[in-house]
């Protein structure tokens, strides 16, 4: 008898999710006149969305794309983009989103690597792909009676649970992005879980994420699965928290997905508003980085007693692994909430760092969330998607996340990245804990702590901070003293650098690489000030 894998594990229970495209077609039949998508230009019903997607799916087939082949899509976030995604589901194609903000060489690499022969574009035709690529504009919605009465020329092809639905490109260690193929099973389970675990499945949901970010699928496809409406946030409001707050009220938005930094900035904007009577939020979801329950976040949810905060965990290679719902009085929430329990069909395991503690170590993910692997990179796929002795629930393949976690009473607790294991003077430092304590100071509204290596090779902690609007300036000694009240000396940054805003990646995460030159410039400025004080003093007599 084969021995059971001895790793400590958690199981999300069985998953029995219907095929997403069948659910969407059923929505169009049952609630044809219900609003499906709203963008700044138009409002689209479920009947119109599926008819529009059917027209695009027929166009895909007419261009010779067979089920299982990739179709690249580029353009702004819009109803057109949502229709294009649904069209790839109808056609059985693999959706490959391209962000036009990326450099042309990066986009060319994605097209070559994905081997897409067809590019659907929204707006102006991009100069990408050369002669081998067929570039076709996404047709506008045809609201004529004949167009709306018809569906796709052929029914959606049968696609097995392990067939890819979309390919997301994520940063690679070589400098070039690597493609990750996400399966039908993963998409079906993710969208069904969201519809079943929302306060109400048909919530009015803001569409905030870029097209090439995993959360885009959760926002759009998860909402459509539940019969809700997707409301596209205007691009200029994605970095304007005060404007976004007004927009959420005006459009009566009930569900929101935000990166952790964007949630903090929204909470700061809300703190300056005497009333939030028009805010109808019932659920806010956050992911991408460790959630920090700052005083501003607690205050926001204290003013929204009907709204819950959900902390999600996952990555492109294993989307939607776990979730933790924060409920009860916000003042009792932990500073660093857990990432919770696995979703249905997902088994998580801990590969321990030490043999005497089986509950802390690298997180491995098995089951429904696990992607097919890295496109055209068999060696990397074999290294990260590892074979296992059979687990308690029969899984023999798991994704090595590179994340350090601990299993506790509330499920999984995120401890940091293993490849960013930080030791200062031989002592392990949790950068997330440093950030949480910085954000607990009333003068700080955003913070990011990094390890900075000096010219002499010494490693030290440096932090970039954004001040609260009410702060007169950065009182660095006072903030560092605040940290020393709660943290060991090895966890206290050497210096704090004031910035107007923290740099972000396209997906909204804090861009810590972009912080390094900013911190280096501040260090040089400090050295220059010190040198000028002693210049001209000469040697003592």
Going by the DSSP 8-state scheme, the letter that residue 443 receives in this structure is: T
Residue among 77, 82, 72 at smallest CA distance from 50: 82
Length of the chain: 541
Checking if the pLDDT of 167 tops 50, the result is yes
Per-residue confidence (pLDDT) for residue 95, from 0 to 100: 97
pLDDT(76) > 50: yes
Give the tens place of pLDDT for each residue, 226-237. Answer: 999 999 999 999
Same domain for 288 and 429, yes or no, is no
Q: Which H or E run contains 407? A: strand 397-408
Residues 247 and 363 in one domain: yes
In a domain, 48, yes or no: yes
> Is 516:523 a contact under the CB 8 Å cutoff?
no
d(CA 386, CA 409): 27
**Is residue 10 in some structural domain?**
no
The overall average pLDDT reported for the chain is 90
Q: Is 389 inside any structural domain?
A: yes
Number of domains in the chain: 2
Last residue of a domain, one of 370, 385, 408: 408
Q: Confidence band (pLDDT; 50, 70, 90) for 540?
A: very low
Residue 392 has pLDDT above 50, yes or no: yes
- Confidence check: pLDDT of 173 > 80: no
Whether 54 and 30 map to the same domain: the answer is yes
> Is residue 507 situated within a structural domain?
yes
The span from the CA of 327 to the CA of 258, in Å, is: 18
In a domain, 13, yes or no: no
What one-character DSSP code corresponds to residue 350?
E
What is the DSSP code string of 61-129?
A: HHTTPPTT-EEEEES-SSHHHHHHHHHHHHHTPEEEEE-TTS-HHHHHHHHHHHT--EEEESSSPP--S
pTM reported for the whole predicted model: 0.87
Q: What is the mean pLDDT of residues 293-298?
A: 94
Which tens digit of pLDDT belongs to each residue from 402-453?
A: 999 999 999 999 988 887 667 777 677 888 889 989 999 999 999 999 888 7
Range of the domain at 236: 20-408
Dump pLDDT digits (tens) for 109-149.
Answer: 999 999 999 999 999 888 887 778 999 999 999 887 666 66
Give 293-305 as a 3 state SS string.
CCHHHHHHHHCCC
Evaluate whether residue 538 is within a structural domain.
no
Q: What is the CATH number of the domain that holds 498?
A: 3.30.300.30
Place of tokens 């003093």: 537
Same domain, 351 and 428: no
- pLDDT at position 533, please? 67
Q: Give me the mean pLDDT over the 253-277 stretch.
A: 93
Structural domain includes residue 540: no
Q: Do residue 393 and residue 512 come from a single domain?
A: no
Q: What CA–CA distance (Å, rounded) separates 235 from 198?
A: 26
pLDDT band at 541 (very low <50, low <70, confident <90, very high): very low
Query: Do 325 and 379 sit in the same domain of this protein?
Result: yes
Instruction: Report the CATH number at residue 309.
Output: 3.40.50.12780
> pLDDT at position 460, please?
83
Is pLDDT of 1 > 50?
Answer: no
Estimate the share of the chain in helix, then strand, then coil, as percent rounded to the nearest 5. Answer: 35, 30, 40
Once rounded to an integer, what is the mean pLDDT over residues 253-257? 98
Distance CA 488, CA 433 (A): 11
Q: 458 and 377, same structural domain? A: no
Note whether 367 and 509 are same-domain residues.
no
């Amino acid at each position: 008898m084969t021995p059971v894998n001895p790793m400590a594990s958690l199981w999300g229970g069985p998953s029995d999710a219907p095929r997403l495209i069948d659910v969407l077609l059923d929505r169009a039949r049952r609630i044809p006149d219900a609003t499906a998508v709203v963008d700044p230009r138009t409002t689209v019903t479920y009947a119109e969305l599926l008819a529009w997607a059917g027209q695009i799916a027929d166009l895909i087939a007419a261009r010779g794309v067979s089920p299982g082949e990739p179709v690249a899509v580029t353009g702004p976030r819009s109803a057109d983009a949502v229709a294009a995604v649904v069209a790839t589901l109808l056609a059985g194609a693999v959706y490959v989103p391209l962000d036009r903000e990326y450099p042309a060489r990066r986009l060319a690499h994605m097209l070559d690597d994905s081997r897409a022969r067809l590019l659907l574009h929204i707006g102006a035709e991009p100069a990408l792909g050369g002669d081998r690529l067929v570039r076709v504009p996404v047709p506008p919605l045809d609201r004529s009676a004949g167009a709306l009465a018809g569906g796709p020329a052929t029914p959606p092809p049968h696609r097995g649970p392990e067939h890819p639905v979309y390919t997301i490109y994520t940063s690679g260690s070589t400098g070039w992005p690597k493609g990750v193929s996400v399966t039908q099973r993963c998409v079906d389970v993710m969208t069904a879980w969201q519809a079943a675990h929302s306060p109400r499945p048909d919530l009015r949901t803001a569409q905030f994420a870029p097209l090439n970010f995993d959360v885009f699928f959760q926002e759009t496809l998860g909402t459509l699965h539940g019969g809700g409406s997707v409301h596209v946030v205007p691009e200029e409001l994605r970095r304007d928290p005060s404007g976004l707050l007004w927009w959420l009220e005006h459009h009566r938005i009930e569900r929101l997905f935000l990166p952790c930094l964007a949630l903090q900035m929204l909470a700061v904007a809300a703190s300056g508003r005497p009333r939030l009577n028009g805010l109808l939020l019932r659920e806010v979801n956050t992911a991408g980085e460790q959630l920090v329950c700052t005083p501003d976040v607690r205050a926001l949810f204290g003013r929204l007693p009907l709204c819950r905060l959900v902390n999600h965990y996952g990555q492109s290679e294993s989307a939607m692994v776990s979730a933790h719902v924060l409920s009860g009085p916000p003042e009792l929430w932990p500073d660093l909430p857990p990432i919770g329990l696995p979703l249905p069909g997902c088994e998580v395991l801990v590969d321990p760092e030490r043999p005497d503690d089986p509950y802390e170590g690298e997180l491995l993910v098995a089951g429904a969330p696990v992607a097919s692997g890295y496109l055209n990179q068999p060696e990397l796929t074999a290294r990260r998607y590892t074979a296992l002795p059979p687990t308690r629930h029969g899984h023999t393949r798991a994704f090595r996340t590179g994340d350090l976690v601990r299993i506790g009473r509330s499920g999984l607790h995120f401890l940091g990245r293993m490849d960013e294991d930080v030791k200062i003077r031989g002592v392990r430092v949790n950068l997330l804990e440093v950030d949480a304590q910085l954000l607990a100071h009333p003068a700080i509204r955003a913070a990011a702590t990094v390890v900075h290596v000096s010219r002499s090779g010494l490693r030290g902690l440096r932090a970039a901070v954004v001040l609260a609007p009410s702060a007169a300036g950065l009182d660095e000694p006072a903030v560092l003293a605040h940290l020393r009240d709660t943290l060991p000396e090895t966890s206290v940054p050497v210096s704090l650098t004031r910035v107007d805003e923290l740099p972000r990646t396209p997906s909204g995460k804090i861009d810590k690489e972009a912080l390094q030159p900013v911190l280096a410039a501040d260090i040089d400025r400090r050295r220059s000030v010190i040198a000028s004080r002693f210049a001209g003093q000469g040697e003592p007599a």
